[in-house]
Amino acid sequence: MKQTDWKIVYTSYTGAEKHAVNLLSKETGRNLIRKKGEYRLHVLPCEKEGCQVPVNGFFVGCYNESKVIKNYVKADEVPENGYLVKVIKNPDNEEGRFVILTAHSKEEVFYAAVSFLDDYVPQHAPRFAVNPMPDWLYDKPLPECSYTEVSDNKTRSIFTWGHSTNNFREYIDNMARQKFNELVLWNDYIPVNIEDIIDYAHSYGIKVVLGYSWGWKEIAKKATSITPGEIEKVKELSIAEYVNNYSAINCDGIYFQSFTERKDNTIEQGKIAKVVTDMVNDIAAKLWEITPDLRIIFGLHASSVRNELDIIEKVNPRMEILWEDCGDLPYNYETTIESEETFAEAIEFTKKLLNLRGGKGVGLAFKGVMMLNWDNFIYQPGPYVMGENSPEIADHDRAVRTKAWKIYSAEWLKSGKYAHEMFKVIKENKLGEVNMCMAGTFDGGIYFPVALCAQMFRNCDEDYQKIVENVMRRECVNVE
């Protein structure tokens, strides 16, 4: 007999905790408030703490703000920078269950709710004959359980292009569900609804960094004849663009790329590393005069500067560097490694980057799930409304890429172990925090290769096959 006396008890209905309550109501409600073949007007009860304690209840909230949760959880059970999922018997009813989802921050409370739905539910699905049946989990008292998770990396980001996003709310929902907490959003023109996008991301605790060109668009593709006059023009344009279009926006920083996306390492003025370091330091200094606390991230392609790290060391230490094109998988566009030798080279180069500038301000961008056809890529021709496209456009774009995602998934099942090895090397060798960034166009769903990397960003201690198994179990993940 399905238990229908469940209730969600929450501490706060704001920000990420609000999203946690909404997600629980939506996803557990389909199993708790409907009976097959009957039309019932009924929604799962959700009440603020202080209500009557239910027979079966979800208790959702920050530990230090919840008197009820403290009745069932000791302070040392809740990790400082993680979450706790705890399923216990109702002390007053042997058949009842309390699901406690708690942490010290609203964002981690949301991740606890996600983990219960995406990990606990499929892992404890009852079996009938040989078939696991997650939808029947609530037919009997839930299995007792207690576990925590603490992230290996404070910043887990996505880089993408604004105009490739069909539904910005769905996109941010999916980011949060995969426990990403920063969006680096590149635009040739700022979306007219950018404040709506930022506000929605902030409601999950997701930071938004806005990206634009500091020479990437203007001179990156030129031959070696980049003149001093062109460099000065880039400086002027970059500063003016910030002043006119970005300085008043409530974003969490800016990101830029310059003219380093090339294979040669020298132009007529000298080493690219030296010219670009001097240029970006000059621009950043001017921007900090305008906005003293501005966060600036330098999107730096290693291809043209990898042998001049002693020069890159002189990039202003206030500026973060988000490295890309650092070698073999997971840095490059391929979903398989080129060779064991090139993968080993990528590991050694990564170790150098982790030690550069005292290990501060390091970010690493991985392109192994890019899902982008540069032959058909169209640059946005003007200002636009981001992520409000019709369902028909979203369905079209999703269908175009479905078969490609299926191949990606198959290849990542085989090659993801190399990414896992790389992420473990990063964890073991980093001197400070590292921004772990997935680069690509992930609109339209939660796809297995992205979900796999997201979980490894969060925690790579488990065996690779165990991580694969857990991610593939999740109902929200598309294994196309």
pLDDT per residue over 356-392, tens digit each? 999 999 999 999 888 877 788 888 999 999 999 999 9
Rounded mean pLDDT, 3-27: 94
Q: Would you say residue 3 has pLDDT above 60?
A: no
CA atoms of 108 and 401, how far apart (whole Å) = 32
Contacts of 28 (CB under 8 A, 6+ apart): 6, 44, 58, 117, 138
Stretch 39-50: mean pLDDT, rounded? 87
Question: Average pLDDT of 98-115?
Answer: 98
Task: Give helix then strand counts, H and E, for the chain.
Answer: 14, 20
Question: 């200002």: which residue's tokens?
Answer: 383
pLDDT of residue 1: 37
What is the rounded average pLDDT of the residues 29-37? 80
Among 28-37, 75-84, 401-410, where is mean pLDDT lowest?
Answer: 28-37
Measured CA to CA, the distance from residue 315 to residue 299 in angstroms comes to 12
Indicate if the pLDDT at residue 2 is higher than 60: no
Report the alpha-carbon distance of residue 405 to residue 453 in Å, rounded: 14
Q: How far apart are CA 350 and CA 341, in angstroms?
A: 14
* SS3 state of residue 80: coil
Radius of gyration for the alpha carbons in the chain, expressed in angstroms and rounded:
24
More confident residue, 32 or 315: 315
- Asked if residue 195 has pLDDT above 80, the reply is yes
Looking at residue 372, what is its pLDDT? Answer: 77
- When pLDDT is cut at 50, 70 and 90, the band that residue 223 belongs to is low
- Pair of tokens at residue 310: 């002693």
Residue 152 CA to its chain's centroid (Å) = 13
Residue 167 has pLDDT above 80, yes or no: yes
Taking residues 281-310, what's their average pLDDT? 97
What percent of the chain has a predicted confidence (pLDDT) above 70? Answer: 98
Specify the pLDDT at position 156: 98
Q: At a CB cut-off of 8 Å and minimum separation 6, what does 250 contact?
A: 195, 198
CA angle 467, 472, 474 (to 5 degrees): 105
> For residue 209, what is the enclosing H or E element?
strand 207-213
> Is residue 346 within 8 Å of residue 331, measured between CB atoms?
yes
Contact between 366 and 174 (Cβ < 8 Å): no
The predicted-structure confidence for 57-105, as pLDDT tens digits, reads as follows 999 999 999 999 999 999 999 999 999 999 999 999 999 999 999 999 9
Please give the Cα distance from 176 to 204 (Å, whole number): 7
Pull the structure tokens for residue 256.
């830029």
H or E, element range at 321: strand 320-324
Task: Report yes or no: 363 and 172 within 8 Å, Cβ to Cβ.
Answer: no
Per-residue pLDDT tens digits for 122-159: 999 888 877 888 888 898 999 999 999 999 999 999 99
Angle at 80 between CA 78 and CA 85, to 5 degrees: 35
- 222 — pLDDT class (breaks 50, 70, 90): low
Q: Which residues contact 293 (CB under 8 A, 6 or more apart)?
A: none
Look up the pTM and report it: 0.95
d(CA 365, CA 37): 49
- The answer on pLDDT for 273 being more than 80 is yes
Task: Using DSSP, state whether 152 is helix, strand or coil.
Answer: coil
- How does the average pLDDT of the chain come out, rounded? 93
Say what the pLDDT of residue 447 is. 95
ω into 330 cis (within 30 of 0)? yes
Which of the four pLDDT bands, split at 50, 70 and 90, describes residue 466?
very high
Query: Distance from CA of residue 136 to its chain's centroid?
Result: 31
